[in-house]
Structure 1
């Protein structure tokens, strides 16, 4: 028996016109993961391929659709974890690559580390064959202008994070991810995000942090979405695992 679940983030989705393209991306993501699991592939391969589809869609806050930071640059985070081997790989503040989740998988498979960040995460990923992408020549500059305008019109300041979360919640919660169970009973998770819109440059969220935004072991697989700072403080992934070990159902763990 196998299973896969994907998500496109916990935003409020105030833009109703976006629904059809988001739904299409989610369905294509599911198809990518299902095809691997049906063929007897691993849970890890399934979640990574599913999340890559979401990154490539351009309609979600990950990969090609990532929100820019405060200076208009795209810095992305991603993490993967394989419950079978109890190993993880992650990248933070990675730039100019198309699929951060694939870079995270390569950190798991090709290095002795868990997390690579910044310039050298990008260099590592590209050297390993992850497709490069020039975000400066994409539509990110237009997205940046729109976001700055919204904040200016609201007379808000970025340092007042809680105020911004409340005033523009749709800008802060989108993250994509997947969890899967393969036919051998192994679990895996993958999470990818462009992070908070207009975040401070260098900010790393919960998605690449093992035990927070991404986690998997023999009992549970977790891919979190929400305000990363809260997820990090709570250690959501590890907490979910502890509850699962103590007999709570998946629904009870989530609640």
Structure 2
């Protein structure tokens, strides 16, 4: 078992200049420090990534899970994805309504079905069959988190990528989607290769204006730049985000490679994030 491990979590690209993010900072630090202890103890990245994202969803501090906002039809349609690098196994859900933890349902799709993605009514039926916790009252449960709302496509997402001491890379992402989105809109988050990707070289989670990340298949693009172009992690991450920016999109990427290197660039007005690397202090930042 290796002594090398690394993890990055994000609470979404884009920050408000006049908003106090002390609660988010404290929450991300708590999650990062707890995750670091588990990584050092030899826990598996799959369990840690899913647990971190479930906590981000449940906090109500980010535009995912409890902190999501309704779409134009007044419905809370949530998306999530998880991917295990060594096996390329993946699970995702899109337009899930009425359940507490989208990432948990996505993992169940990966583990308990022959499919990769379930959407809409089918995703809800599956979550009910697996007895995931339901939202008792939409009006009482959701507490839409603060998010930049002066852009054409306001954003909000949570995610986590990790390398564990077993050498396994895992990536996961969860979102309530862009604010005031059309009913049925699905962004990059649950699309394997766009907003979420993991293989035996790198794990990637994206956040930002999903339409642009979809158009560039950003997460897989980053991995391909490393696999076929021989780029280092920093170079590949910057180039992949540059492709998004070249189309006029903004957001951020978190990524970790098999050597424990990390990257977390963004071209948006800030990105909430926390970084864990073996032997280094935890880093928490929003800009």
TM-score bracket for this pair, using the shorter chain length: 0.7 to 0.9
1:35 Cα deviation from its structure 2 partner:
3.7
Structure 1 distance, partners of 2:100, 2:40, is 26
**Root-mean-square deviation (CA), in Å?**
2.2
Structure 2 distance, partners of 1:170, 1:16, is 20
Structure 2 distance, partners of 1:42, 1:168, is 40
CA shift digits 1:124-173 (9 cap, x unpaired): 12332321113523264x859x99xxxxxxxxxxxxxxxxx9x7139722
2:221 maps to 239
Structure 2 distance, partners of 1:80, 1:98, is 16
Consecutive unaligned residues in structure 1, runs of 5 or more = 148-164
Higher mean displacement: 29-38 or 103-112: 29-38
What is the TM-score with the length of structure 2 in the denominator?
0.76
1:175 maps to 157
User: Residue 131 of structure 1: which of 116, 128, 133 is its match?
Assistant: 133
Residue 63 of structure 2 contacts residue 144 of structure 2 at CA under 8 Å; is this kept in 1? no
**1:215-254 pair list within 5 angstroms:** 215-245=197-227, 246-254=229-237
1:120 Cα deviation from its structure 2 partner:
2.2
Paired residue secondary structure (2:24): helix
Which structure shows the bigger proportion of residues in helix conformation?
1
Residue 44 of structure 1 contacts residue 188 of structure 1 at CA under 8 Å; is this kept in 2? yes
The list of structure 1 runs, each at least 4 consecutive aligned residues, that deviate by more than 4 angstroms after superposition, is none
In structure 2, the CA distance between the partners of 1:219 and 1:135, relative to structure 1 (3 Å rule), is farther
1:20 maps to 22
**1:11-160 pair list within 5 angstroms:** 11-17=14-20, 19-138=21-140, 140=142
In structure 2, the CA distance between the partners of 1:67 and 1:104, relative to structure 1 (3 Å rule), is same
Consecutive unaligned residues in structure 2, runs of 5 or more = 239-287
In structure 2, the CA distance between the partners of 1:4 and 1:79, relative to structure 1 (3 Å rule), is same
What is the TM-score with the length of structure 1 in the denominator?
0.85
1:224 Cα deviation from its structure 2 partner:
0.3
Paired residue secondary structure (1:93): strand
1:32 Cα deviation from its structure 2 partner:
4.2
1:24 Cα deviation from its structure 2 partner:
2.2
In structure 2, the CA distance between the partners of 1:125 and 1:96, relative to structure 1 (3 Å rule), is same
In structure 2, the CA distance between the partners of 1:205 and 1:44, relative to structure 1 (3 Å rule), is same
Residue 61 of structure 1 contacts residue 67 of structure 1 at CA under 8 Å; is this kept in 2? yes
In structure 2, the CA distance between the partners of 1:193 and 1:15, relative to structure 1 (3 Å rule), is farther
Structure 2 distance, partners of 1:36, 1:79, is 22
Which structure shows the bigger proportion of residues in strand conformation?
2
Structure 2 distance, partners of 1:13, 1:249, is 32
Q: Is 2:5 the counterpart of 1:2?
A: yes
